[in-house]
Amino acid sequence: MTPRGAFTAVFTTMRGFIIELYGLPLAISLDKHSTYKTTRQADMDELLKEKQAETQFERALGKLGIEVIHAHSPQAKGRVERAFRTLQDRLVKEMRLAGVKNLEEANRFLERYCRVHNRCHRAEALEPEDLHRPLPKSVVLDDVLCIKGYRMVNEGYLVKWRGRMYVLGKPSLTLRQQKLVVLERFDGRLSLRFKGRDLEYRPVLEPKRPASKPVVVKIRRKPPKYALPPSHPWRHQIFGNEPI
């Protein structure tokens, strides 16, 4: 899975299966996958804010006020790892006994199986209160659960983002050499934002390069040494007492 595909999966899961169903959790426990924990050094902006280097996922959860707790071992994640190990063995056998043959039948089987499994193995929490918080109306999830970065506007009012160039639609002298906020959503939408205002832009199409002709390397071979045939006149010229 590509890095962008990994972020799409975790952000979609976080939004559709947690925030929109239950609200904002106080904290979330994760492992140290590169999607959740980065190994890079802090950049200049992070150093000025006295922050550690963070991934896009950590940045988004921090904006929502959700604490990220990184597990240092599989045992630290508790029951979820043991449940995965149990289901990888038990669930396959249960599906075989139920006669599941395709994906549609497997999905219908899981709906019934999960209710029975949770009823048998669920453990009540010590504190049953629901600590999820409602999402504030001022928060726009599309602007938080996305890939966010900063780019400078060059002299030609061009902005470079992820290997592509974009030119601002309404250039202004106040935008030259200014830093913009770039928001890339997972549905392909892109926003260039300056002081809270979305700017108009259009992509710069690169000119098509002519197809290069294949390079033909000619190997020059040394011609063979010429040997005089027996009938050559030189062989019949006599120098001294012997023919050539």
CA nearest neighbour of 83 among 121, 140, 30, 125: 121
Helix pair 56-63, 3-14: axis angle to 10 deg: 20
Residue 94 CA to residue 91 CA, distance in Å, equals 5
* Degrees, nearest 5: CA angle 32-24-86: 50
Please choose, from the candidates 74, 54, 50, 71, the residue with its C-alpha nearest in 3D space to the C-alpha of residue 62.
54
Strand partners, 191: 183
8-state DSSP, 172: -
Among all chains, which residue has been given the structure tokens 């899981």? 110
**Angstrom distance (rounded) from CA 157 to CA 204:** 11
What's the pLDDT score for residue 3?
Answer: 55
Say what the pTM is. Answer: 0.69
Residue 58 near residue 168, CB atoms below 8 Å: no
User: CA-CA distance, 53 to 38, in Å (whole number)?
Assistant: 7
Tell me what pLDDT residue 60 has: 94
One digit per residue, pLDDT tens: the chain, 244 residues?
555 667 888 999 899 989 999 999 999 988 888 888 888 888 887 788 788 889 999 999 999 999 999 888 767 766 666 777 778 888 889 999 999 999 999 999 988 998 888 888 777 888 888 889 999 999 999 999 999 999 999 888 999 998 899 999 888 888 888 999 999 998 889 999 999 999 999 998 876 677 777 777 777 778 788 787 888 777 766 555 555 4
Distance CA(188)–CA(180), nearest Å, equals 19
Whole-Å CA distances, 208 to 162, 164, 202, 205, 211: 19, 15, 18, 9, 9
Q: How far is CA 238 from CA 227, 228, 234, 235, in A?
A: 18, 15, 9, 8
3-state secondary structure of 186: coil
Q: State the pLDDT at residue 244.
A: 47
- Residues contacting residue 47 through CB under 8 Å, at least 6 positions apart: none
